[in-house]
A = this chain, B = another copy of it.
Amino acid sequence: MNICIIGSGNISMNIGLALKKSSFNINKICSRNELTGLKLAEKLDSNFSKEIIIPKNTDLVILGVPDDQISKISKEIKCKAIIHTSGTRNINILKNCSENYGVVWPIQTFTKQEVNFKDIPICIEANSKKFEILLKSLFLNLSENVFEMNIQNRKIIHLSAVFSCNFINHLFYISKNILNDKKIDFSILKPIIYETTNKAFRYSIRENQTGPAKRKDFKTIEKHLGILSKAKKKKYINIYKSMTDSIIATYENKL
C-alpha cells in the first residue's frame, strides 16, 4: 500500500512515523514548508514536493494539515482514496477528491515529540462501509483502539479534549509562571498533579474536588487575587475568577 501525506507538521510526522514502523510505504510528502517537508520525507524514505503532486501509484492520501486549511487544499486533489485527520471537520469536504473519503482522528495531542500509538483511541468515519473496513484494518496496525465515530460525537469529544488537554496545558504554563518568579521548580507540583489525574480515573471527579473555591474560603480566594493583581500576573485573574465561580456554583447545585 502506497500512502501520500500532505503536510509536514506534528500530526503528519507522528502518523507517518507510526505507519512506517508498521511497514507501510510512504511514497510522498507534499508540503509548502520545504524545511519540515524535506526533513520528514528523509525520515520516511519518501519523495518530496512543495506542490501537491500525488504519485499515480498512491492508494491513500492523508491530509495532515490544520483544520482550517483542509477545505482549500482538498480542492487541488484527485485520488483513489483520501482522509483528513481532524476531530471537527465533516468528511464531506473531501467528496470531490475521491470516491473513497473519510477521517482518521487520533485522540491525542501531537507536538514535535514522537508518541506511541498503541493505546491512542483512533476515531474513524468513511463514506462507505467498504472504505470504513479498509481504514479500520489499516489503523489497527497502529493502535488497538480503533472505532467508528460520527461527526456529532467527534465534535463533542474534541470539545471535551480542549478542556482536558489544551486548557490543562495552559494551567501548567500559568502554574510554572507563578512559581518562576520565586525561583521555585515546577516539579514540586508533580505529586499533586499526578494524584489529581490518577484520582480522576479511579474515584468520583465530583467528590475529588478540593481547594478554597470548594470550601468557599473567600479569605484565601481574596489573597490569591491579591497576588495575581501584582504586575505581570493580572492577565490570569479572568481565568482564576471564571474557574472559581464555576466551582462554587457546581457545589451549590445552582448550575
Query: Which A residues contact B (CB, under 8 angstroms)?
Result: 10, 66-68, 88, 107-113, 115, 119-121, 152-153, 155-176, 178-179, 181-182, 184, 186-197, 199-203, 205-215, 217, 219-220, 223-224, 227-228, 235-236, 238-243, 245-247, 249-250, 255
Contacts and interface: CB of A to CB of B under 8 A. Distances in A.
B88 A170 contact: no
- In terms of DSSP, what is the predominant structure of the interface of chain A? helix
Given A88-B223, A174-B163, A191-B120, A196 B210 contact: no
| Closest 9 pairs (CB-CB, A-B) | A166-B211, A160-B175, A238-B242, A164-B175, A160-B178, A242-B242, A167-B243, A163-B175, A172-B200
Contact of A201 (B121, B190, B195): B190
B165 A210 contact: yes
Given A66-B215, A187-B201, A197-B193, A227 B155 contact: yes
B235 A192 contact: no
Given A115-B195, A168-B196, A239-B242, 9 more contacts: A67-B220, A156-B227, A160-B176, A160-B178, A160-B189, A162-B212, A162-B224, A169-B208, A173-B209
Contact of A68 (B10, B209, B220, B224): B220
Q: Which of A119, A224, A249 has the most chain B CB within a 10 Å cutoff?
A: A224
Given A109-B210, A164-B171, A178-B160, A67 B184 contact: no
A165 B222 CA distance: 18
